[in-house]
Amino acid sequence: MWQPILDKFSSRLEGWSGKLLSIAGRLCLIKSVLCSLPIYYLGMFLMPNSVADKLNSLIAKFLWGPNSNRPIHWIKWNNLVKPKEHGGLGFFDLRLKNRALLNKWIWRYSVEPDSLWRKIIDAKYDYEQSNLVPKPITNRYSSRVWRNILLPLQNSNDLFSSNLCFVLGDGKAIQFWDDYWTEVPSLRQAFPRIFSIALRKRGCIADFGSLVAGKWEWSIELRRTLFDWEVNMWSDFVDTIDRAAKYHADRDCLRWSGSTHGFYKPKDYCVLVAKLGNVDNNPIWKLIWQNLAPPKVEIFLWRAVQNRILTCFELGKRGISGLGNSLCPFCVANTETSDHLLCQCIFTWQVWQKWCHV
């Protein structure tokens, strides 16, 4: 199924003369063409890891050396596929893009309740029409496509599902104890003592209260009176649900807290995932990408900040032979590093002084 995408990638790369393009031109083609070629497949099917690795490898090879069998990859792939403000080049790994686009179907399931495709899904898997989120499926005879789409819902630590929260409306589609509709992911887990003494263990929010004069009034029955040491716990519990019900919508709906506007966008998910781990918040990155110079100059500065330009020292580290020595060819006094070549060499300083009229 994925072979046509691999063939199309290869044919496009063969038709481009990379040696006539700067790295900025190649980056533009990667963002506008290569990353968009498989967009239909990525939005419907889960890409195998082997295919994702192959496509990412083709992209990296085209970026660093389209006319070489073994180009030098000057910067790690994981550092490339990050937002520009965090030290990357502003495009994302195709595996991540694939997951971001598949998550869109879960979001659309909530915001398109009257669409034909949702009615078909509801009928096929016996979902209730009031559901805001589809239930995960484990039946091996079900559609593999739909099972792969729902994979994040089976992992509570997934960045998509963990940021998927409910907004209270009429309370008929949100589970009171288990759904993420308050400031805590689950009332059952946050207040296990209250849950244990509650008479009703299951039900939607409308089963535990009602909207009276624009304000929710709760009727949560307990099987016994509270002990003295449980009073504060009960007070915290009531305050938690009151805060969640303070601002309510006309009907129950979803909100994705991973974005500032509350709506799920695949790009927002990619940026959120790319920020995981060691995030480089150096303000120098925002200064580089200010469109104050041609793109190829900005990319040169981006590489220079990371000491990844073609100096004798860096080439020697990578086992490039035939360099003679690693001394600066201008002053022949110090090792040619990025700092020396751009700032410390006496000849470089003369150029800077003349250009700055010092």
pLDDT tens for 258-313 read: 888 899 999 999 999 988 776 778 889 999 999 888 999 999 999 999 888 888 88
**What mean pLDDT is predicted for residues 164-178?**
91
pLDDT of residue 130: 86
Q: Is residue 92 part of a domain?
A: no
Number of domains in the chain: 2
* DSSP alpha helix (H) spans, the chain: 3-15, 23-29, 39-42, 49-64, 77-80, 94-111, 116-125, 144-149, 159-162, 187-190, 192-197, 231-246, 266-274, 284-288, 295-305, 312-317, 338-339, 346-355
Residue 19 pLDDT > 70: no
pLDDT of residue 328: 82
pLDDT of residue 278: 67
Q: What is the pLDDT of residues 131-166, one digit of tens each?
A: 899 988 877 788 899 999 999 998 888 899 999 999
Q: Of the ranges 116-125, 230-239, 329-338, which one carries the lowest mean pLDDT score?
A: 329-338
**215 and 288 housed in the same domain:** no
Chain-centroid distance of CA 244 in Å reads 27
Q: Is residue 185 part of a domain?
A: yes
Q: Is residue 223 part of a domain?
A: yes
**What mean pLDDT is predicted for residues 45-56?**
93
Q: What is the pLDDT of residues 185-224, one digit of tens each?
A: 999 999 999 999 999 999 999 999 988 888 889 999 999 9
**229 and 306 housed in the same domain:** no
pLDDT of residue 22: 85
Q: Is residue 33 part of a domain?
A: no
Using alpha carbons, select from 107, 141, 73, 110 the residue that is nearest to residue 318: 73
pLDDT of residue 232: 94
**192 and 228 housed in the same domain:** yes
pLDDT of residue 322: 64
pLDDT of residue 231: 93
Q: Is residue 343 part of a domain?
A: yes
pLDDT of residue 358: 57
pLDDT of residue 240: 94
The DSSP code sequence of 67-132 is T-SS----S-HHHHSS-GGGTS-S---HHHHHHHHHHHHHHHHHH-TT-HHHHHHHHHHT--TT-S
Q: Is residue 213 part of a domain?
A: yes
**243 and 290 housed in the same domain:** no
Q: Is residue 306 part of a domain?
A: yes
Q: Which long-range contacts (CB under 8 A, 24 or more apart) does 147-154 make?
A: 148/45, 148/46, 148/102, 149/46, 149/102, 149/105, 149/106, 150/106, 151/46, 152/99, 152/103, 152/106, 153/106
Full domain range(s) for residue 329: 284-355
Residue 333 pLDDT > 60: yes
**What mean pLDDT is predicted for residues 246-257?**
85
pLDDT of residue 70: 77
User: Is 241:182 a contact under the CB 8 Å cutoff?
Assistant: yes
pLDDT of residue 73: 87
pLDDT of residue 242: 92
pLDDT of residue 175: 92
**251 and 293 housed in the same domain:** no
User: Is 319:86 a contact under the CB 8 Å cutoff?
Assistant: no
**302 and 242 housed in the same domain:** no
User: Is 79:277 a contact under the CB 8 Å cutoff?
Assistant: no
**246 and 324 housed in the same domain:** no
**What mean pLDDT is predicted for residues 163-183?**
91
**178 and 245 housed in the same domain:** yes
**235 and 306 housed in the same domain:** no
Tokens (6 digits) for 81: 């596929």
pLDDT of residue 9: 83
* DSSP alpha helix (H) spans, 2-66: 3-15, 23-29, 39-42, 49-64
**246 and 176 housed in the same domain:** yes
pLDDT of residue 155: 87
Q: Is residue 323 part of a domain?
A: yes
pLDDT of residue 302: 92
**What mean pLDDT is predicted for residues 56-75?**
83
Average pLDDT, the chain: 88
Please provide residue 296's backbone torsions phi and psi, each rounded to the nearest 5 degrees: -70, -30
pLDDT of residue 343: 85
Helix/strand/coil for 164: strand
pLDDT of residue 321: 63
